[in-house]
Structure 1
Amino acid sequence: MSSPYPPDRQLVLQRFQQIWGYTEFRYPQDEVIQCLLEHRDALIVMPTGGGKSICFQLPALLNQGLTIVVSPLVALMENQVQELRQRQLPAALLHSELTSPQKRQTLWALEHQKLRLLYLSPETLLSPTVWQRLCQPQLQINALILDEAHCLVQWGDTFRPAYRRLGTVRPALLQHKPAGTKMAIAAFTATADPQAQQIIQHVLQLQQPQTILQSPYRPNLHLAVNIAWTSRGRRQQLLRYLQARPNQAGLVYVRTRRDGEALADWLTQQGYATVAYHAGLATNERRAIETAWLNGTMLFVVCTSAFGMGVNHSSVRWVVHFHVPLLLSEYVQEIGRAGRDNNPSEALSLVSEPTGWLDPQDKHRQQFFLKQDHKHRQLAQQIMKQIPGKGEFSVVTRQFKEADVALSLLHSTGQLEWVDPFHYVIHRSIVPHTKLQSKATQTMTQYLTTKQCRWQFMLSAFGFLKAAEALGVGCGHCDRCLSQNR
């Protein structure tokens, strides 16, 4: 039988088979790989478990030169690089937790063009040590990949302000490269509604990107929301849920480290072998927890959003949100850890009753988030009045506390422009436009309280209207559909 691929693509498929052992690409891997091989920009929205990493790893290995992968979490970088190194592939990572010898070894490999893939956080990418080496004219850089690009939208304004400076990385690097050099930018995520897609394209300055959007709908994933009338009742519901699933792998999501540790201690007292996983743990502690979970000696982990991205466990049967996230995009990311083997799986959310009289913790958490956001925006406007209209990032951040967050927020409201990753210009005459964080949290609340099919609500919220319509009267397997069918 003749191959459906032209000769050049047959070579791509052959290399794919040699490295990963698969005989065919999964849609839309082939299209994305070809796009990056042609040095074109891309915005890719693919469901969790859809094989996103292969889409940028394979072109990086086929091309001469370096591909930079900007990743939000150390755990995510380490898991991907470990898998690549096990296949004897030239990949490395840089982050603050590495030892000095490890950093020196990677920087040497970078300088001597021994790498095809280099994983970095936004902050490490923009650090002087790394930036100086990336600017070397002889260092060929093929692509800048933003993995888990939804983090730019969710975290870029306040929690990780370096994300807002990434749009000027390409033009700044190209100034140091030979004329005619092409450098693609591609953003990958499992969740981006139409507004988030616009923010990603705008911040990264994508140029006529190829856009591939896949619906997050998972027919094997059953969604449910239960009201917890009291704090004690929430724990008892979780306990009953776990007792009914004695040998199944799962995840329990909370929103803070303190909540995670308190819940893990309580579950340990109930006889369960579990621990709290969060970004505050040392690398060896995180690796030990991930290994125990992956090999089945620990069936479930109590975790914050730091857990899951890049941890590939195909047979997770359930995800419980002991505390729901504030944004629907975070929720979709986290429930996407379940059922990656396409077998029936469950996602349960425990929420306070709507008034919050008996259990106000969900309402307090949302109010705290909005209050902090408002506080940051007020601070940004105050700092704008005090700093020069043109300036250098390092100088301003030394002079003013939280200036990095303020500059990021001013950029998000259209009042600031990044000339390059390290210099800004303020446009004081521009009236700030605000990001509607309260509207985003309202969407999550509406999902939790909706009377319609939960999958249809979610698909509509993310702009997949045809996919929502295709479900007809509903998915038939969420709690809303099942209650209507009784």
Structure 2
Amino acid sequence: MTVSPPAAKALEAKFQQIWGYSRFRPPQGEIVQALLAGQDLLVVMPTGGGKSICFQLPALLQTGVTLVVSPLVALMENQVQELCDRSLPAALLHSELSRTDRRQTLQALSQNRLRLLYLSPETLLSPAVWQQLCQPQVKINGLVLDEAHCLTQWGDSFRPAYRRLGAVRPALLKAKPAGTKIAIAAFTATADPHTQQTLLQVLQLQQPRVIRLNPYRANLHLRMQTVWTPRGRRQALLKFLQNHPNQPGLVYARTRRDTENLAQVLSRQGYSVQAYHAGLAPPPRRQIESDWLSGRCQFVVCTSAFGMGINKPDCRWVVHFQLPSLLAEYVQEVGRSGRDGAPAQALSLVSEPTGLLDPADQQRWRFFAQKAQQQARQAQQLARQLPRQGTLATVRQQHPQAEQALALLHRSGQLSWLDPFTYRLQPAIATKSQPTPSATAVMQKYLRSRQCRWKSLLEQFGFRREAEEMRCGKCDRCTAKP
């Protein structure tokens, strides 16, 4: 649907009234119009591209609520706080809320006083919240999946509720008056072609409009540095920090223990640093986020749990002390620097190729690969013990890891969800498609490539035409001496 010029002007006027911007940044206007028209959407936009406004504005212009499924409490709190500061009808639900706040939010939902409700997939599918959402009088306009790449990164491991989201819309429509429509929109900064296809299939998007912007950021300078020993890795980080005094940044490690140990070492060196991971209690996590955003803390040593959706435009650098195994996760994390458009650095420390002197990277990637294989075997064993059709609650009572196993069976095509709580087993369909390269193989290919870093990334994420002429001139490959 194309919005008429007067209607488009009215949209921009509302946009300016709420957020103070005079006009949309492409393709924000197109996305807003599509959501107002009730279309399903898959949107891939770089970090800092203004994705949140794209679904917040149409939600505020409609009667009824838009459900925003978000992976992290910090991400929900940041967005809802900004909306509430503007006196806009938004709220959130998560396990850390007090009983009083939870009751008030559910009451506002039942009375259709909310326009945006943020919640995790687990909270969405919890009995009390689901029962409230299924009340016929609760008007639901849309379901937005923010940071949608989490469905593919986490849905097969420790967040299996993501795999049940495709059954949400059909189940809700059965409980609503005839003629009700609920649009689904998935937003992410990084999605390669395989991830995009997975999102389309799992969420059961209907004739979706797909809007993709490539992840290239001209101000973001990518660099890899080979380290030969664990001590050499620490020295490389210290040298980088010495060359960027007083600049805010982020250091990424992969485990809770590594973040804490590294933060202690750097703190003894006199740096203003804190460790952040998902194992911290909510108050300390909020305090660390506040300290970093305000400048009281120069940088944070963190796992992937930190930074998603947190907007600090003057973050000048990101160092991967340890690389993730997923290239999409790498792009997400480096994209948290330089959001103000000024030059920013992204340094990744990589073990020497043989792994003989510093086997840390290879060992970590091998561990995660073996763990995934073990979980897949356990899922197949469980499949042989399950009835053809049943409920998640029943299976969970008998098998502690049932939900994750069912998610893996869903990924392999051996299971479908009749509703968010009832599964049906089905035979796996043999296909002749080419096997998908492992995440580790994709990452190692990127690390070994001799061409421009951004060119490699554009190719991997399906932007081949843009990659043909890409040479950023600033990454370590482009600036290397012949």
TM-score interval (norm. to shorter): over 0.9
C-alpha displacement at 1:299, in angstroms? 1.1
Give the corresponding residue for 1:204. 203
Give the corresponding residue for 1:271. 270
User: How do residues 47-126 of structure 1 correspond to structure 2 at under 5 angstroms?
Assistant: 47-126=46-125
Mark the CA change 1:45 to 1:283 in structure 2 (over 3 Å): closer, same or farther. same
C-alpha displacement at 1:437, in angstroms? 7.3
Q: Deviations over 1:174-223 (max 9, x none)?
A: 00111111110000000001110000000000001010000000111100
Amino acid in the other structure paired with 2:472? C
**Corresponding position: 1:223 with 2:216:** no
- Maintained 8 Å contact 1:413/1:434: no
Give the corresponding residue for 1:130. 129
Give the corresponding residue for 1:25. 24
Give the corresponding residue for 1:361. 360
Give the corresponding residue for 1:482. 479
- Maintained 8 Å contact 2:110/2:137: no
Structure 1, unpaired ranges of 5+: none
Give the corresponding residue for 2:250. 251
Q: Equivalents in 1 of 2:138, 2:255: separation in Å? A: 41
- Pick which of 88-97 and 273-282 moved more: 273-282
**Corresponding position: 1:141 with 2:140:** yes
Mark the CA change 1:433 to 1:403 in structure 2 (over 3 Å): closer, same or farther. farther
Amino acid in the other structure paired with 1:69? V
User: How do residues 329-340 of structure 1 correspond to structure 2 at under 5 angstroms?
Assistant: 329-340=328-339
Give the corresponding residue for 2:342. 343
C-alpha displacement at 1:96, in angstroms? 0.7
Amino acid in the other structure paired with 2:339? R
Amino acid in the other structure paired with 2:480? S
Structure 2, unpaired ranges of 5+: none
Give the corresponding residue for 1:36. 35
**Corresponding position: 1:189 with 2:188:** yes
Give the corresponding residue for 1:10. 9
- Maintained 8 Å contact 2:413/2:428: no
C-alpha displacement at 1:136, in angstroms? 0.5
Mark the CA change 1:399 to 1:81 in structure 2 (over 3 Å): closer, same or farther. same
**Corresponding position: 1:465 with 2:459:** no
C-alpha displacement at 1:430, in angstroms? 3.9
SS in structure 1 opposite 2:271? coil
Q: Equivalents in 1 of 2:432, 2:324: separation in Å? A: 25
Q: What is the TM-score of this pair, normalised by structure 1?
A: 0.97
Mark the CA change 1:398 to 1:383 in structure 2 (over 3 Å): closer, same or farther. same
C-alpha displacement at 1:101, in angstroms? 1.2
Q: Deviations over 1:98-147 (max 9, x none)?
A: 11111111111111111100001001000000000000111110000000
Q: Deviations over 1:305-361 (max 9, x none)?
A: 111111110011110000000010000000000111111111000011011111111
Q: Equivalents in 1 of 2:370, 2:72: separation in Å? A: 26
Q: Equivalents in 2 of 1:429, 1:318: separation in Å? A: 46
- Maintained 8 Å contact 2:412/2:428: no
Mark the CA change 1:39 to 1:5 in structure 2 (over 3 Å): closer, same or farther. closer
Mark the CA change 1:55 to 1:424 in structure 2 (over 3 Å): closer, same or farther. same
- Pick which of 236-245 and 434-443 moved more: 434-443
Q: Equivalents in 2 of 1:189, 1:274: separation in Å? A: 29
Q: Equivalents in 2 of 1:433, 1:138: separation in Å? A: 47
Give the corresponding residue for 1:370. 369
Q: What is the TM-score of this pair, normalised by structure 2?
A: 0.97
C-alpha displacement at 1:290, in angstroms? 1.3
Q: Equivalents in 2 of 1:425, 1:292: separation in Å? A: 48
SS in structure 1 opposite 2:170? helix
Give the corresponding residue for 1:234. 233
Give the corresponding residue for 1:320. 319
Identity across matched positions, percent: 61
- Maintained 8 Å contact 2:276/2:285: yes
Give the corresponding residue for 1:405. 404
C-alpha displacement at 1:421, in angstroms? 0.5
Q: Equivalents in 2 of 1:322, 1:95: separation in Å? A: 31
Q: Equivalents in 2 of 1:281, 1:58: separation in Å? A: 33
Q: Equivalents in 2 of 1:478, 1:433: separation in Å? A: 39
Give the corresponding residue for 1:390. 389
- Maintained 8 Å contact 2:219/2:343: yes
C-alpha displacement at 1:470, in angstroms? 2.7
Mark the CA change 1:436 to 1:406 in structure 2 (over 3 Å): closer, same or farther. farther
C-alpha displacement at 1:149, in angstroms? 0.4
Paired positions, count: 480
Q: Equivalents in 2 of 1:324, 1:463: separation in Å? A: 22
Amino acid in the other structure paired with 1:34? Q
SS in structure 2 opposite 1:58? helix
- Maintained 8 Å contact 1:414/1:433: no
C-alpha displacement at 1:440, in angstroms? 2.0
SS in structure 1 opposite 2:175? coil
SS in structure 2 opposite 1:483? coil
Q: Deviations over 1:457-483 (max 9, x none)?
A: 010000001111132xx2111001000
- Pick which of 183-192 and 268-277 moved more: 268-277
Q: Deviations over 1:262-311 (max 9, x none)?
A: 10011011111111111122222122111111111211110111111111
Q: Equivalents in 1 of 2:115, 2:428: separation in Å? A: 45
Mark the CA change 1:37 to 1:464 in structure 2 (over 3 Å): closer, same or farther. same
Q: Deviations over 1:43-78 (max 9, x none)?
A: 000000000000000000001100000001111101
Give the corresponding residue for 1:152. 151
- Pick which of 249-258 and 41-50 moved more: 249-258
Amino acid in the other structure paired with 2:39? R
Q: Equivalents in 2 of 1:113, 1:36: separation in Å? A: 19
C-alpha displacement at 1:5, in angstroms? 6.6
SS in structure 2 opposite 1:17? helix
